[in-house]
Amino acid sequence: MKGFKTFVLRGNVVDLAIAVVIGVAFGVVITAFVKDLVTPLIAALGGKPDFSGLYFTINHSKFLYGDFINAVIAFVIIAAVIYFFVVIPYQAMLERSRKEPPADPTTKKCPECLSEIPKDARRCAFCAQPQEA
């Protein structure tokens, strides 16, 4: 039991559990956004697309391929919404937050005494050793 407790309380497991819970909540928000805002907008522009009534029957078994088409369309719409409203803004935010690379160093270490000297110095100010160009 002690090993199980250690496993469960390890940081990775707790972080993963939190990520799953937040991911499910985020998925619900995105699904509601698509269902309540994006799909009615598409329906207003091109008529109400609903394929759930499409099916075929073989030996009294009903194959609802219209529901599958609806699920595929919903998936594509959700993926597009996530890409355009989450991924692209997130990538833009990361690009803005990236820091400039550090400036070129203005000093170097003397190979003899390890003192910091100007990069263009021809002799060390501390030990008077000649420096390579």
Q: What is the pLDDT of residues 74-101, one digit of tens each?
A: 788 888 888 898 889 989 988 888 877 7
The residues pairing with 108 across neighbouring beta strands, listed in sequence order, are 117
| Same-domain status, 88 and 113 | no
| Same-domain status, 41 and 57 | yes
The residue-averaged pLDDT of 15-29 equals 85
Its pTM stands at: 0.50
How many domains is the chain partitioned into structurally? 2
Say if residue 43's pLDDT is above 80: no
| Same-domain status, 74 and 117 | no
The residue-averaged pLDDT of 102-128 equals 85
- In angstroms, how far is CA 21 from the centroid of its own chain? 17
| Same-domain status, 111 and 69 | no
**Domain span at residue 30?**
2-97
